[in-house]
Amino acid sequence: MSARAHILAKLTASHDQPGWPAPVALKTNPPRTINAADQLAQLKTMMAAAHTEIHEVSSENWPEKVAELTQAKNLNNLLIAPKTALGKQLQAQWPVDGVTLKYDLHHSGGKEELFFSVDAALTSCRSAIAETGSLVLWPSPAEPRLMSLVPPVHFVLLDAHNIYPSLTEVMQAENWAAAMPSNALLISGPSKTADIQQTLAYGAHGPKELVLLIMV
Amino acid sequence: MKTEILHNFTSRSRAATADEAQRGKFRSAMDFLIAKRAAQFPDPTEWAELRESGQQIRQRALAYLPKLLVQFEQKAQQNGMTVHWAETPLEANQIIHGILQRQQVRTLIKGKSMVSEEIELNQYLQAHSIQALESDMGEFIVQMADEKPSHIIMPAIHKSKQEIAALFAAEIDDTPYTEDVDELIQIGRQALRQQFFNADAGLSGVNFAIAETGTLCLVENEGNGRLSTSCPRVHIAITGIEKMLENLADLPTLLTLLTRSATGQPITTYVNLISGPRRADEQDGPEEVHIVLLDNGRSQAYADVQLRQTLQCIRCGACMNHCPVYTRIGGHAYGTTYPGPIGSIISPHLLGLAETRDLPSASTLCGACGDVCPVKIPIPELLLRLRVENVTRAGTKDHPAVMRGQGAKYRLSEKLAWQAWSLLNTTPALYLASRRSAAGLRHLIPSVKAWTQARVMPKIAPQSLHELIKAHQEQKS
């Protein structure tokens, strides 16, 4: 008998034993009623507490802000996703020359460049969760998953209209269960660890800095 | 301390309690984690409601476990993942080794996985000339020191920064001695970055597997879990069969219970939901995703309605953080992959009660573990049940043989002593007769040496309570 058949046979033989509580339907919590302004405030509080740098921007001026921050942080380059809407807007409005890189892992040396030469990347995010201060990212062919992970600085652009009170609500509103991507992510700050004597240190393996630009 | 030098729980825990420096490290680490967790559950009503929900979700998933495993397998396959089943650690190791061989992988980069510790994957692969490299900072430190994790959430909790500084200076090329934690983490980051870049395969554990969508959920703070599962061309995930959830909608409740109970965080930095390998047009992500579903004694726990509650565990580690025994002896003294209260109730199923006979007694039964369990596992009750299983021979009436190694602590002399004690106390004539030779009875009681180490052996009074009352009443009248 295969391991599969054997395991399932053992479980099935005992799974209807008397005495085990019958499956129950879980009561769902009523939707929370925090208003949009409170959600934004909550998100900012939670994310700041998790060491995220936050800037409020507008849908017009954010490329300027990214350029300003790139210079202020002495970043040599910035990886962008050229085919996305934000990639296009950034390229159209980028005020300085020579600092943007376009993501192409297929081109030879692309991965090496990503690991050892890229200073920062800019990605979009799908939505955000006020309760825990989390950003929801669904990497895509145009905006691959390593962009938000490998470079030491991660810039994220969030539209304030896409903030939800909780994970439950964002999953319901966006109907996640219907079609999950190959990789969905919640990001709630820069990479960190407290594995050495419970001392918190940032930049363990992922980005050392998370910079959130909120379009309000 | 190498655990294999000392051969049993009693001698290991004696050595651990004699190590004052280590006790200090555990005390301060546990105090830190206890305070962080408490701050995350300020409202007792919310806590009560949340853990009630957590318990219900886990019990519902377990009630449907065979169905959910099949559903998960089907969905995962539809998503392009390969599902493997293993009854024993050896089978799991062989499956993983087979995948790596087919892919001609020489180096495996690992995210944190306690199940891989359970099956001793690193040792198995090393014997087959494949290097498995731990990438979680705590696991990286522990592996470098040639030790095992001493805590399921914070593997290197037993080490001071001075010890880690010395270890890094000695083991990592061109590394000066530094006690600066930020610098130490950056040294670890640099050491592992090239490995992430080079690795052909990555391995991870699984926090929750969602049957509805065929999704693996992984929580972590460092990003090493994401790198191990996103960067190499092969991703292998290993999980116990009990980690199933019925629906995606069950996830938020358990996620909040897990991260708040474990490290006192409202959420971890990264929550990774993996539902398949990279799709045709995607530029990164693994080309293959394999999932190994491991039984290793879990179906034994499942077979008994009371013991089945053990499988509700979401591996937050809160029970060990609050356990007065764990805090004093540390994780290595248990000699098992999962230490502390949860280890004492899960390890007998994984290894058999004969091998783990002392663990159900490694508890004061103070109840702290049960009180903090986010999914309401009645750990003290289960410890008592295992103590009964320890002294009950398999096949005895009212005790069906459910536990491997049942009756490990059964002793005929003890059984007879208690039978005699019972008879004595329920037969007045015998009781009266025995009272006069009470001193002799002491010999029937099994050794009480351990008990009297910290207590005075009571002396039998010259007059019994009955006699005293009788004398008192006679005096009054």
Residues B226, B82 within the same domain: yes
**Chain B nearest CA to A68, separation (Å):** 26
Q: Do B303 and A171 touch (CB under 8 A)?
A: no
Whether residue B33 is contained in a domain is answered as: no
| ipTM exceeding cut-off 0.85 for this assembly | yes
Indicate whether B288 and B427 sit together in one domain.
no
pLDDT tens per residue, range B319-337: 999 999 999 999 999 999 9
B324 occurs within a structural domain: no
Q: What is the pLDDT of residues A72-88, one digit of tens each?
A: 999 988 999 989 999 99
| Stretch 21-80 of chain A: residues touching chain B, C-beta under 8 Å | 21-24, 26-28, 46, 50
Cβ neighbours for A166, distance < 8 A, ≥ 6 positions apart: A32, A129, A130, A131, A132, B252
- Put simply, the answer to whether B249 touches A177 (Cβ < 8 Å) is yes
Asked if pLDDT for residue B3 goes beyond 50, the answer is no
Chain B CB contacts of A204 below 8 Å: 137, 185, 188-189, 221-224
Task: Please give the Cα distance from B189 to B196 (Å, whole number).
Answer: 10
In chain A, what residues touch B277 (CB-CB under 8 Å)?
182
Query: How confident is the model over B67-117, as pLDDT tens digits?
Result: 999 999 999 999 999 999 999 999 999 999 999 999 999 999 999 999 999
State the total domains in chain B: 2
> Is B349 a domain residue?
no
Sheet holding A134-137, edge to edge: A163-164, A127-129, A134-137, A183-187, B270-274, B215-220, B208-210, B244-245
Phi, psi at residue B55, to the nearest 5°? -60, -45
Cα A180 from Cα A142, distance rounded (Å): 17
**Paired tokens of A5:** 């058949």
Residue range of the domain that includes B438: 412-476
Q: Tell me which of B364-373, B425-434, B441-450 is least confident.
A: B441-450
**Any domain includes A119:** yes
CATH number at residue A110: 3.40.50.10420
Lowest model confidence (mean pLDDT) among A173-187, B295-309, B355-369, B429-443: B429-443
For chain B, the maximum distance between any two Cα atoms, rounded to a whole number of angstroms, is 102
Does B331 reside within a domain?
Answer: no
- Rounded to a whole number of angstroms, the distance from the CA of B170 to the nearest CA of chain A is 17
In a domain, A157, yes or no: yes
DSSP assignment of A128-155: EETTTTEEEE---SSS-GGGGTSSSEEE
In a domain, B345, yes or no: no
Q: Which amino acid is at B234?
A: V
Average pLDDT in the B183-209 region?
96
Asked whether the beta carbons of B76 and B291 are under 8 A apart, the reply is yes
Indicate whether A28 belongs to any domain: no
Structural domain of A46: 33-192+202-215
Count of structural domains within chain A: 1
What pLDDT was estimated at residue B1?
35
Listed residues B300, B320, B343: the one ending a domain: B300
Closest C-alpha to A194, from B428, B156, B400, B229 = B156
pLDDT level of residue B195 (50, 70, 90 thresholds): very high
Is there a single domain that holds both residue B293 and residue B435?
Answer: no
The predicted-structure confidence for A99-110, as pLDDT tens digits, reads as follows 666 766 666 678
Q: What is the pLDDT of residue A103?
A: 67
Q: What pLDDT shows up at residue B452? A: 82
Q: Tell me, yes or no, whether B454 lies in a domain.
A: yes
Residue B17 lies in a domain: no
Shared-domain flag, residues B282 and B421: no
- For B273, the closest of A26, A46, A184 (CB atoms) is A184
Q: Of B300, B315, B348, which residue constitutes the final position of a domain?
A: B300
pLDDT value at residue B5: 40
Is the pLDDT score of A60 beyond 90?
A: yes
Whether A83 is in a domain gets the answer yes
pTM of the prediction? 0.92
Question: What local confidence, expressed as pLDDT, does residue A211 receive?
Answer: 98
Task: Using CB atoms, pick whichever of A3, A177, A191 lies closest to residue B269.
Answer: A191
Please report, for the domain that includes residue B254, its CATH number: 3.40.50.10420
Choosing from B300, B327, B361, the residue where a domain stops is B300
